Structure 1
Amino acid sequence: MSTMRIDRLLDTVISQEASDLHLTVGKPPTVRMSGKLIELKTKALEPDDTMALMKAISPERAQNELQETGSGDFGFAYGDGDPKKSARFRVAIFKQRGCVALVLRRIPTMLLDIDKIGLPAIVKDLIRRPRGLFLVTGPTGSGKTTTLASMIDYINTNLDRHIITVEDPIEYTHEHKKSIVNQREIHVDAPSFSESLRRALRQDPDIILVGEMRDLETIENAITAAETGHLVFGTLHTNSASGTINRLIDAFPTNQQQQVRAQLSTALIAVLCQQLLKRADVKGMCAAYEFMVVTPAIANLIREAQSYKIDSAIQTGKKFGMKLLDDYLWELYDAGKIHAEDMIDRARNPEALTEKVHRTGRKVGRQELDESAT
């Protein structure tokens, strides 16, 4: 019989401000803190432990999905509402070597103020627009959800809008403020992103948030919604503004790509690509951004299939708050906020930044020192 209690593990995650909890057979429960995996001082988990922990928190739908497909996802709220003792968790359950494993991602209950997450000032103006497509991109765990939640909260606080979110699962929860916020969860409130996005157009929305633009139909519906008088927020797993444009266009058959370029050139408002890095100066993480606003010049590059020129256009668009990721990373490093190794790991052009570090008389190599000391 398992004696491992899920509530004690979740209390630890919240009190230690860990970002994730890993539960897998053969290892003690392990948390991720400031990017590093740290084992908790307890016994290694056995198959009965992970099965019992999974059943303690998983809805029946997710357990059925686990049996049928070998994995499942869901979200749930934990705690009594006190922000210091509560959190929402996004949970992935899956089978490995015939046993159950879980990864729980902590979603802080406190929404971050849009001014405090370091976004370019022009973002506030862009998200007041009545129509268009605003994309937030980056790898898994880069803080896209937090950034989008901050934007939605800013709109909710300051503008009267009907906001529909489509998420898998719901992470941050929004109270109705000046706006009405209806949040739909895939598999609970809606069957799929594409279907719920298509139906959202009949629900009198001003703003639609699409948790993930993962297939052609969803991308098509998002562009159509942006063209027909709605502000649409979406996410993609891309690392640059130009890469985002290419990913969207490449999702379509060749004979449709020219038309899609024309649609994107008028519908797209901005692309914000972000990375999350461990801070060097204080405990915690900080975000680095690449930001592109679709000016007439950039719209023309999209239309003319010249996305390879977008980086240059971003460099000349500083007055709009535009910035390339590597320039933002360098600013964080130069200010002592991140380590050189982390900057270079996330850079689009690591060789150029390594050379830049050496030109200033500094060195790269902290990680090797860290590992030899442990």
Structure 2
Amino acid sequence: MHMSMTQLPPPAEAMQNLLNGTTQFLASDLHLKVHYAPYYRVGGLLRKVASVPPIDSNDYMEAMLKSIIPTHKLHDYETNGSIDFSYRGATGDRFRCNVYRSMGEMHAAIRRVQNKIPTYAELNLAPIYEKLIHETREGLICVTGVTGSGKSSTLAAMIDHLNHIEAMHVITVEDPIEYSFTPKKCIISQREIGLDVPSFPIALRAIVREDPDTIFIGEMRDRETLTAALQAAETGHLVFGTLHVGDVVQSFNRILEFFPRNEHAFIRSSMANSLRAILCQRLIPGIEQGKVYPASEVLINTPVVKDKIRNEEDEDLPAVIAQSEHEGMLSFTQSLVQLIEKERIHYDTAMEYAPSREALQSAMKGIKASAQSLVSRIRTK
């Protein structure tokens, strides 16, 4: 039986019920919009919360959301029309919240970030992710992907791995903080934009004076942030950063966009020297309902890659990646093939997400041909 607006609980209670529901139903996101029922995103698909009616009152919606918005953020919302913040729910889960104004009304997109930091195995990450952390103590590692591709969870797993194996001082600069780390071998200082420091550039100007071994930059979003990341990586620090791009080549394009053309040669030289890897990922719906798996494109900065970066030959990098699986590199196509072979995703789903359907078809045919040849050899023995 559906309740009406007049039967809804007090706004703060309704907000907590909906947040608890994201944990209960293993939803990745909660969407709240005036005139709509709430929606959860489960396994990549939007699902209406059938037990809650459309919320037709903006006053009720504002009261719900203001029950979780930090007081110091309200002015930013009134001024800018949107705010980002983190919130810890009663279940222990953290939520990354974006509240925004739409046609004069308050709406929200709220992402659930598990309180427990996931492992590589739980995230189904390729072995190269763990290998990189074991072997890298300086330089820049970029984790890239579109919004909702699992970058935050991947970086949390990598940093927590460091936390278990090495005594280091880790400083994170985040907007907002999404995972709260418990110190193991590392000492960890987490700084949130808007709460601990006004902006990324201000935080990063002082960061090398805070004696870090490892720096995590929540998002490399402008020239100052990228310059600071490259400088820290070149002076012996291990730097993690994210970029909102779809593949490896776009990562270089995005970085260079922040600098005038006359500085590109210098930035390319800096990247060639300091970059260790670019790990780009997309989440693919699995065979099991509600499951998603990362398909990864992995670039390792080998001598060949260094030359390509310096010589503005970025368009050659996909071919280098495809031919360098023995060095830990991985193309999206190879990653999709592995997921199909492990029966994690359907072939048809892989085709929908493949950067080149022809390349995926060819790769799958090659595997089938090899398997048939092996069976034939076994039968003739």
TM-score computed with the length of structure 1 as normaliser: 0.90
User: How many pairs are equivalent?
Assistant: 356
Cα RMSD between the aligned structures? 2.0
Secondary structure of residue in 1 paired with 2:123: coil
Secondary structure at the counterpart of residue 26 of structure 1: coil
Map 1:175-214 onto structure 2 (within 5 A). 175-214=182-221
Aligned pair partner of 1:112 in 94, 115, 118:
118
Given the superposition, is the C-alpha separation of residues 96 and 167 from structure 1 closer, same or farther in structure 2, using an over 3 Å criterion? same
**Counterpart check, 1:59 vs 2:70:** yes
- 1:133 and 1:304 mapped to 2: Cα distance? 20
> Could you list the runs of 5+ residues in structure 1 that have no partner in the other structure?
80-84, 362-374
> 1:48 matched to which residue of 2?
59
The Cα shift of 1:63 comes to 1.7
User: Matches of 1:281 and 1:20 in 2, distance apart?
Assistant: 19
Q: Distance in 2 between matches of 1:206 and 1:216?
A: 23
CA distance in 2, matches of 1:354, 1:322: 20
User: Is the 8 Å Cα contact of residues 44 and 290 (structure 2) preserved in structure 1?
Assistant: no
Task: Decide whether the 8 Å contact of 1:14 with 1:86 is kept in 2.
Answer: no
Shift of 1:331: 2.5
Q: Provide the secondary structure at the position in 1 that maps to 2:279.
A: strand
Measure the CA separation in 2 of the matches of 1:332 and 1:169.
32
In 2 relative to 1, CA 331–248 (structure 1 residues): closer, same or farther, beyond 3 Å?
same
Residue of structure 2 in register with 1:82 after alignment: none
Identity of aligned residues (%): 36
Aligned counterpart for 1:39 among listed residues 48, 60, 66: 48
Q: Is the CA contact 2:33–2:106 (under 8 Å) kept in the aligned structure 1? A: yes
Provide the secondary structure at the position in 2 that maps to 1:174. coil
Residue range with higher mean Cα deviation, 87-96 or 239-248? 239-248
Counterpart CA distance in 2 for 1:27 and 1:358 is 47
CA deviation profile, 1:257-308 (whole Å, cap 9, x unmatched): 0111111001000000001121113542111111111001111110111111
For structure 1, which segment, 295-304 or 55-64, has the greater mean C-alpha deviation from structure 2 after superposition?
Answer: 55-64
Cα distance in structure 1, aligned partners of 2:101 and 2:66: 14
Pair member with larger Rg: 2
Q: Is the 1:77–1:87 Cα contact (8 Å) retained in structure 2?
A: yes
Given candidates 27, 37, 40, the residue that maps to 2:36 is 27
CA shift for structure 1 position 312? 1.4
Q: CA 1:124/1:37 → structure 2, altered by over 3 Å: closer, same or farther?
A: closer
Equivalences for residues 361-372 of structure 1 within 5 A: none
**Deviating more after overlay: 149-158 vs 109-118:** 109-118
Is the 8 Å Cα contact of residues 42 and 290 (structure 2) preserved in structure 1? no
Q: Deviations over 1:97-121 (max 9, x none)?
A: 1111111100001111134433343
Following the alignment from structure 2 to structure 1, what is the Cα–Cα distance between the partners of residues 223 and 358? 35
Q: Distance in 1 between matches of 2:179 and 2:342?
A: 31
Task: Write the mapping of 1:80-95 to structure 2, written as runs, cut at 5 A.
Answer: 85-95=91-101
- C-alpha separation between the residues in 2 aligned to 1:18 and 1:119? 21
2:26 to 17, 24, 31: 17
How much has 1:190 moved relative to structure 2? Answer: 1.2
Letter in 1 for 2:44: G
Q: Which digits, 9 at most, give the CA deviation of each residue in 1:201-240, with x for residues without a partner?
A: 1100000000000111111110011001100000001122
Measure how far apart 1:58 and its partner are: 0.5
Q: Deviations over 1:101-159 (max 9, x none)?
A: 11110000111113443334343343242310000000000000000000000001110
Correspondences of 1:244-259 after superposition (within 5 Å): 244-259=251-266
Distance (whole Å) between structure 1 residues aligned to residue 355 and residue 159 of structure 2: 29
Give, in angstroms, the shift of residue 245 of structure 1: 1.9
What is the rounded CA distance, in whole Å, between the counterparts of 1:275 and 1:243 in structure 2? 14
TM-score (normalised: structure 2): 0.88
- Unmatched 5+ residue regions in structure 2? 1-5, 369-381
- Which position in structure 2 is the counterpart of 1:78? 89
Structure showing the higher helix proportion among its residues: 2
Q: 1:111 is aligned with what amino acid? A: I
Residue 357 of structure 2 corresponds to residue 346 of structure 1: no
Cα deviation, 1:37-61, whole Å, max 9, x if unaligned, reads 1111221102122111111110112
Cα distance change on mapping 1:337 and 1:197 into 2, 3 Å:
same
